[in-house]
Amino acid sequence: MTLKISISGVRGVVPESLTPEVCLNFAKAFGSYIIEEESSPNKTIVVGTDPRSSSEFIKGIVFSGLLSTGCKIVDLGICPTPTVGIMVRKLKAAGGIVITASHNPLPWNGLKFMREDGIFLNENQAKKLIDLYEKQKFIKKKQKGVVADPSGIDIHIKKILKVINPFIIKRRKFKVVIDCCNGAGGIAAVKLLKKLGCKVFPINCDLTLPFAHAPEPIAKNLTQLMKTTVAKKADIGFALDSDADRLAIVSSHGKPIGEELTLALATQFVLLQNHNETTKKKIVITNLSTTQAIDDIVRSYHGIVIRTKIGEVHVAQELKHLKALIGGEGNGGVIYPPVGFNRDALAAMTLILKLMATTKKSIADLVSTIPTYFMIKKKIKCKSQHEAEVLISDLKERFPKKALILTDGVKVMLAKSWVHIRASNTEPVIRIIAEGKERRKVKKLIKQALKPLS
């Protein structure tokens, strides 16, 4: 059975591994964690879900677990993951739970856990939660009840429009195709785009239907979006994953620009808007596996790039701590602090449209200004943690120590390329990512990295 418990929460196949008992005990553990850790008398937990058929079933179980520990629940219903983070802060809640497996396909589902600032639990906090789950040391207190609050999406959109002035976007009257894979962003994304003055062509934005395709917004899953963008003569096509925290982009020519460039373009706009700031204030946070193009863009604005371990929480914590301008990950995840500290496809869409409106350039033209790198991403099924450790250890021995970054797995830095190997936080796989200026050399790096498994 496949059950993945990590810093990114818990994910599994419903009902084989993500069983009712697992969901109930994790809810009890989180409620107990909140009661023990939070000094505030407000023990409110904000809960949101994606539209998977199993989410409503799991939500009832999660509510039972939280109520048994004495927590009050605010039910946001189906909404994007970043909406939950925004509402945790607005309501001054003690934490939040998102019922979603993010980019994982059906029949997967899962639970993500947020703390009082709307950021996901960090490593130490996640360890405490998992320890409570494993030891089943649950608190029992009088139940406080559930309050429904459907305002989350509207509050989220209003916040975006407040911090990213939409006037110049509205003047351009962009034609936009949006594919939400019938996920949690279906209502929110269309509503936001209309408020931005766009002519919207929604596809797969019906929350009552199953996912129209695999929910990860990578090129092979965007065929319908590509064709529709060309057919409608749209300026741009957007694709969201099932919980609307990742954004992929298709040009007016129907070409996917690659998920790595979502953050690159958003960063370019934010640095353009802040070009007069001092170098110390032009800080961008990303993770070890994100494209080197970010460094090139930030360097051109005389800014600073800081790289963290993989995982949204690591980027978010550094963003908050260093008061950085923007951050995110190369999977299409953009974190824009004025809106919130979660990856947010809605905020990312708005930043991209603002960049197009400000520069009066198409996405294809904007992409052409970004230095070109070739990146290959591979993932292989991992039989055990030991297998991952053997592969990582082997890679360490085959390259000089000065070329290694050991913050998360092992990243080998070469003159004009790099390769990164690590165990995934969200799937039972080993991830291998390599990037460089020449495709041939990148393929060679991947081959070298996989040699012990051949």
What residues act catalytically?
102
User: What is the three-state SS of the chain?
Assistant: CCEEEECCEEEEECCCCCCHHHHHHHHHHHHHHHHHHCCCCCCEEEEEECCCCCHHHHHHHHHHHHHHCCCEEEEEEECCHHHHHHHHHHCCCCEEEEECCCCCCCCEEEEEEECCCCCECCHHHHHHHHHHHHHCCCCCCCCCCEEECCCHHHHHHHHHHHHCCCHHHHHHCCEEEEECCCCCCHHHHHHHHHHCCCEEEEECCCCCCCCCCCCCCCHHHCHHHHHHHHHCCCCEEEEECCCCCCEEEEECCCCECCCHHHHHHHHHHHHHHCCCCCHHHCEEEEECCCCCHHHHHHHHCCCEEEEECCCHHHHHHHHHHHCCCEEEECCCEEECCCCCCCCCHHHHHHHHHHHHHHHCCCHHHHHHCCCCCEEEEEEEECCCHHHHHHHHHHHHHHCCHHHEECCCCEEEECCCEEEEEEECCCCCEEEEEEEECCHHHHHHHHHHHHHHHC
Q: Facing residues of 348 across strands?
A: none
CA proximity to 255, closest of 372, 365, 378, 102 = 365
